[in-house]
A and B are shown apart, each in its own frame.
Chain A
Amino acid sequence: MVGIVGYGAHMPRHRIKVEEIAKVWGADAPSYKKGLMLREKSVPPPDMDTITLSVEAAKNALKRAGNIDPADIGAIYIGSESHPYAVKPSGTVVAEALGATPDIHCADYEFACKAGSEAMFVCLGLVKSGYIKYGLAIGGDTSQGAPSDALEYSAAAGAAAFIMGTDNLIAEIQETHSFMTDTPDFWRREHEFYPQHAGRFTGEPAYFRTTMGAADAILKKSGMKPRDFAYAVFHQPNGKFPMRVGKMLGFTKEQIEPGWLSPTLGNTYSGASPMGLTSTLDIAKPGDMILMVSYGSGAGSDAFIWKVTDRIDEVRDKAVRTRKLLDENLTYVDYGTYAKFRHKILKNE
């Protein structure tokens, strides 16, 4: 059997409230909060980026994995749309920081918000084939939204890491399915700083058709119904979309809520549904079934069905829980500090 041996997440402690952003742009905060079902988002300080978030998330995954030797990790894949370098893989630094070099395969992935689940899918496959003993899959971002754009209210930072293997599993993979079409709902051209999006088109047909396509297919393949799952995790570009798509599929609010981080975290892009899975594993019981469906603009979804094992009770508190990082020790910043942190102010070099 193949599955998750260790998992972990990391996020900044800084937050900015929707009201603080709306105040600067003369926008109506209550309507944004209601429309996006989102109250605040995480803000990475200048010394935090996708690489540093990935390292800390991976360290937490290693703590939960127990006594595995980082040198036994045969592949590291980091999915992100905010890799610090355009040319030079984030995974090189992360693998070095973990002590997993030099006998390791490395690649950075990019597929808008589903690059992290791509890494998970490939690691599962390589472990299952026997090519590697362990695979480290990370989804993380320090995403950018253009000033005053709707995305600015949600684009946030965070990362989740999963070590895939065959022994001492926390969650076994039961089924996977990927769904992908050419649907241009969100993009960023070469050398552009901020992404562009196609407004409401990003919802229907992009997010909903794609997420539903992957979810319906994996339910059909597995012969399972929404009631067979303890929890479901969906990509969360805002607070509203994952709740709506879950209800369209027949899931209840109670099944979705443990992995529903976006109302106070924002959209961590490649980290979004992977972080939702970490938060769900934090409270899951042995035998629970979890559906996870990512979504990446462009557009595609990766769906996974996980079965939680007895080992979860043994390892969940070997590293910090995701909700604790989300809810405690917070520092709220004003728009000026946020603009400085996110390099939105141009200075002479």
Chain B
Amino acid sequence: MFPSRIWRDSKHRYRLEAGKCTKCGKIVFPYRLICPECGHREFEKVILPDTGKLMTYSVIRVAPSQFTDQAPYAVGIAELENGVKLLAQITDCDVEKIKVGMEIRIEFRRIQTDSHQGVLSYGYKFVPKWY
């Protein structure tokens, strides 16, 4: 991943920063310039909650080259406590034990490494909520 993209995405990837339309209240993540609901152009900054429920998931057994060491792994969509739906990798779990409806927590993890020399990419992943 290019360092410039990591830098551009850091607000939402690092700290779940979203935009809430000041007219209709729709929350957009990542941040947008124009509200897809009402076309308004002003947003207030909101931080997404870090817990939710898994709505659906898929297990990746044949992974892209940068993720082959992690296969099999799962990616899923979770509905957070404020209704926002988010896609992320599910980590720290046995893929055979993942269930739709299970509670998840968002943790800050390493997303990918660009060889031994490249920049490190960080962001959010889901982990099963257990406390």
List chain A positions with a Cβ less than 8 A from chain B: 13, 45-49, 51-52, 55-56, 59, 84-85, 93, 96-99, 320, 324, 328-329, 331, 340, 349
**CA A93 to CA B122, docked complex, whole Å:** 8
B120 touches A96 (CB 8 A): no
Chain A's closest residue to B17 (CB) is: A99
Given contacts A51-B122, A84-B120, A98-B15, contact A340 B69 (CB under 8 A): yes
B9 to chain A, nearest CB (A): 11
Please determine whether B110 and A49 come into contact, CB atoms closer than 8 angstroms: yes
Partner of B130, one of A84, A85, A328: A328
Tell me the nearest residue of chain B to A345, going by C-beta.
Answer: B69
Tell me how far the C-beta of B97 lies from the nearest C-beta in chain A, rounded to whole angstroms: 11
Report chain B residues within 8 Å CB of A59. 108
Whether A55 and B69, one on each chain, are in contact in the complex, defined by CB atoms closer than 8 angstroms, is no
Does B10 make an interface contact (CB < 8 A)? yes
Instruction: Select one of A13, A85, A97, A349 contacting B115, CB under 8 A.
Output: A349
Nearest-CB residue, chain A, relative to B130:
A329
CA separation between A320 and B91, bound complex, in Å? 19
Task: Name B107's contact: one of A56, A324, A328 (CB within 8 Å).
Answer: A56
CA distance A93 to B13 in the complex (A): 11
A328 with B110: CB separation less than 8 A: no
The answer on a CB contact under 8 Å between B110 and A47 is yes
Task: Note all chain A residues with C-beta closer than 8 A to B108.
Answer: 52, 55-56, 59, 97
Hey, what's the 0/1 contact readout for B98-130 against A, CB within 8 Å counting as 1? 000000000111110001100010100100001
Which residues of chain B come closer than 8 Å to A99, judged between CB atoms?
Answer: 15, 17, 47
Tell me whether B14 is interfacial, beta carbon within 8 Å.
yes
Task: Please determine whether A45 and B92 come into contact, CB atoms closer than 8 angstroms.
Answer: yes
Asked if A328 meets B131 with Cβ closer than 8 Å, knowing A45-B91, A46-B70, A93-B122, the reply is: yes
Closest B residue to A97 using CB positions: B14
**Smallest CB–CB gap between B124 and chain A, Å?**
10
- Would you call A47 and B131 a contact (CB within 8 A)? no
A46, A56, A96, A331: which contacts B110 (Cβ < 8 A)?
Answer: A46
